[in-house]
Amino acid sequence: MVFEMKHITKTYDTVVANDDVSLHLNQGEILSIVGENGAGKSTIMKILYGLEKPDSGEIFVGGKLQRFHNPSDAMAVGIGMVQQHFMLFEQMTVAENIVFKNELKKGPFMDMERTVETVRQLSERYGLKIDPAARIADCPVGLRQRVEILKILYQNANIIIFDEPSAVLTPLEVEALLETIRGLAKAGKSIVLITHKLQEVMAVSDRVYVMRQGRVVAERMAADTNMEELAMLMVGHPLASYEIDPPKPGATLLETKGLSLVENGRQVLSGISLRVNAGEIVGIAGVSGNGQSELIRCITGLEKSTGGQVLVGEKDVTNRSVREIRDAGLAHISEDRYVWGSAPEGTLEENTLMARQDEMPFSSRGVIHPRAIREYAQRLIQGFNVKASSPAQKMRELSGGNAQKLIVAREMSLDTPVLICCEPTRGIDIGAMEAIHSRMLQRREAGAAILLVSSELTEIMSLSDRIYVIFEGKIVGEFQRGSMDDKHLGLLMVGGSIEHE
């Protein structure tokens, strides 16, 4: 046993984040901790890493009782953590990032030659390929994560904690990461993986803890369980499978005609024509980076297209301002909840008010009415089960899933005929995901036209009445619900064509 945590309890204000949690990790083992957002899995690892202090309970590392005051204490006994948000020095090189705090010196000077050589050896030893001299700013996300891992290995960590490591990665990078994790375990490191992606859990783990509402509710050997069981344990109730009535499509509410975009001389979108009718959900399937983001930005007015038309209802809104497009009857759950979707430093009230600030009863003659806004915010928070302590809380203090629920609540409560959902459930837990999906289906029943973009193919498949497949900025296929299977879809998404089979 490399570490053991006994009866850990931690409360924030009134919320019990960890309630009598006990867990342990064996030498060379890959342990997964799964649970929804707010289940307490990040908190327990922060306690292990010295970022938080428990109210009660004990931590043993290597059989010895430990008391961590900060991460340095944890690092000193061989615990390292790959944070969800990378902690890197952008303008510095890979090697410099890895040795920071434990620099190789020649008197008072940096010994750069030895630094680069050491880092190269380290990367070869663990098969983590990197260029020690590359600048972080020029490295893609997957490489940055590798640097984070090397940083921890450089500090001689034996226990490596990964906090939602795949959240930011592309599918290919995820593959490489899982391979890395297996390799590290083989090299004798003990791994803790915090995640809610059950495929990854099943792919690499030896053992799994399931957490719910601050408690460990189950412990399973990976070989003795499956994704369905883990998912049930996580949410505490069986997952709803969506029973969708056949669509009753009405008039076309959103249409693009030959929409094109040339960016820096590159054809990002070429002649995209699609239509979304009242009462249907239309999905756009594709590998990330094939023009989905740009397409949505052109439709919603965040970017100016260079050709073609966008119609909302009967109205031509091509390259109009965001305001005009929204006024024509469109709401938009944006791809990045903190960049486009909300103001992280603003309060929940302010964030729910966005786009409605000029309307009665929230304001009149340019003066806002705080009471009406508060009531409205409270209604959305309750109506969508957003876990928040008060409407005056800051947006960034909410967990990702709750922030997303609030944005979804705001955009859906606008009751627009057209709704654009871009990655509506990215990085959030199953409970929140279900809630959002059922709201989308409700809007569909109510006759809204919904355009759904998601990198999760299962999400597209289970919700959409119709699917367009996008590849390199072109629509390469269109399917009705029921007439498609994963294989064909997958083939089209990577540029193959069905006729050639």
Partner 1 sequence: MTYLAQVINSTIREITPILLVALCAGVCSKVQVFNIALEGTLLMSAFFAFLTHYFLRNIFLSVAVAMAVAMCMTLIMSTFIVKLKGQPMIVGMALNTFARGFTTFLLSVIFHTKGAVNPSDLKGLTKFDLPVIKDIPFLSTVFGSLTVIDYLAFALAIAMFIIMYRTVIGFRLRALGINKSAAGSLGINVPRYQILATTLSGSMIGLAGCLLSLGRNAMFIQDISGARGYVALAANNLCKGHPLGAMISSALFGFTTALARSLQGTAIRQQLLQCIPYIATIAAMAFYNAYARAKAKRRSL
Q: Give the Cα separation of 79 and 156 in Å (integer).
A: 9
Tokens of 105: 């010196």
Number of residues that bind partner 1 (CB under 8 A): 21
> Could you say which residues in the range 14-43 bind partner 1, by CB under 8 A?
none
Q: Output 390-394 pairs: Cβ under 8 A, ≥24 positions apart.
A: 390/348, 391/347, 391/348, 391/349, 391/352, 392/347, 392/348, 392/349, 393/347, 393/348, 394/344, 394/345, 394/346, 394/347, 394/348
By CB atoms closer than 10 A (0-12, 13-18, 19+), residue 51 is middle
Bridge partner list, 212: 215
Q: Given the complex with partner 1, which of 133 and 227 has the nearer CB atom?
A: 133
> Could you say which residues in the range 173-202 bind partner 1, by CB under 8 A?
none
Tokens of 339: 């960049």
> Could you say which residues in the range 238-297 bind partner 1, by CB under 8 A?
264-265
Q: Which stretch binds partner 1 (CB under 8 A): 71-79, 206-214, 335-343, 485-493?
A: 71-79
Q: Which stretch binds partner 1 (CB under 8 A): 52-60, 108-116, 166-174, 218-226?
A: 108-116
Q: Does 101 bind partner 1 (CB under 8 A)?
A: yes
Q: What would the DSSP string read from start to end of 241-252?
A: PP--PPP---SE
Which residue in 13, 63, 64, 109 binds partner 1 (CB under 8 A)?
A: 109
Q: Does 103 bind partner 1 (CB under 8 A)?
A: yes
Which residue in 108, 188, 238, 246 binds partner 1 (CB under 8 A)?
A: 108
Q: Give the Cα separation of 61 and 48 in Å (integer).
A: 10
The SS3 of residue 470 is strand
Min dist CB 100 to partner 1, Å, is 6
Q: Given the complex with partner 1, which of 96 and 200 has the nearer CB atom?
A: 96
Q: Does 72 bind partner 1 (CB under 8 A)?
A: yes
Q: Give the Cα separation of 319 and 303 in Å (integer).
A: 8
Q: Does 100 bind partner 1 (CB under 8 A)?
A: yes
Which residue in 90, 415, 445, 486 binds partner 1 (CB under 8 A)?
A: 90
Q: Give the Cα separation of 322 and 88 in Å (integer).
A: 35
Q: How far is CA 336 from CA 111, 332, 342, 427, 496, in A?
A: 41, 11, 9, 11, 30
Q: Does 133 bind partner 1 (CB under 8 A)?
A: no
Q: Does 138 bind partner 1 (CB under 8 A)?
A: no
Q: Does 70 bind partner 1 (CB under 8 A)?
A: yes
Which residue in 7, 67, 105, 323 binds partner 1 (CB under 8 A)?
A: 105
Pairing outcome for strands 418-422 and 330-333: parallel
Q: Does 92 bind partner 1 (CB under 8 A)?
A: yes
Q: Which stretch binds partner 1 (CB under 8 A): 17-25, 87-95, 331-339, 340-348?
A: 87-95
Which residue in 2, 21, 23, 75 binds partner 1 (CB under 8 A)?
A: 75
Interface with partner 1 (CB under 8 A): 70-72, 75, 83, 87-92, 96, 100-101, 103, 105, 108-110, 264-265
